[in-house]
Amino acid sequence: MQLHKRDESPTKEFVDVMAVHWADTGKIEPVRIQMKSGTVLVVSKVLGVVRAASLRAGGQGIRYECRVADAADGFAFRLYVFHDGDYWFIEKTKKGDIVCADGSVRNKEKSRFLF
């Protein structure tokens, strides 16, 4: 699928999401998130679902607040994942670090949080 220029942002990373669709209720729940770098985040629990806009990265849709764990190091944190039409994305800093739901930043290279 071709992305439009307006969809591109240095603070938005489009990700591949494996999700479960519950046919009886119509709900969709993310299960695994794979980033462009190959990092896989495993969703252990969906904490909240709300229609919202991403003020940091732009775009709007369904915002999933998820408790995730990095498959490589097992470190758990909360993350917003946005479902915008056919796309899924997460918020990042301009340096490429993951922005967590509480506003902290997960520095992937050092495998720790920056506040």
For residue 20, give its domain range. 5-114
Tell me the pLDDT tens digit for each residue of 41-82. Answer: 999 999 999 999 887 777 778 999 999 988 777 788 999 999
Report CA-CA distances (Å) from 14 to 22, 26, 95, 114.
Answer: 23, 23, 16, 22
Question: Taking residues 24-48, what's their average pLDDT?
Answer: 90
CA atoms of 26 and 113, how far apart (whole Å): 35
The mean predicted confidence, pLDDT, of the chain is 82
Of 33, 40, 41, give the one whose Cα is nearest residue 16.
33
Q: Answer whether residue 98 shows pLDDT above 70.
A: yes
Q: Which residues contact 36 (CB under 8 A, 6 or more apart)?
A: 13, 14, 15
Q: How many domains does the chain have?
A: 1
b/e per residue 65-88 (b: at least 16 CB within 10 A): bbebebeeeeeebebbbbbbeebb
β-strands 12-14, 87-91: how paired?
Answer: antiparallel
Of 79, 106, 80, 93, give the one whose Cα is nearest residue 11.
93
Q: Answer whether residue 35 shows pLDDT above 80.
A: yes
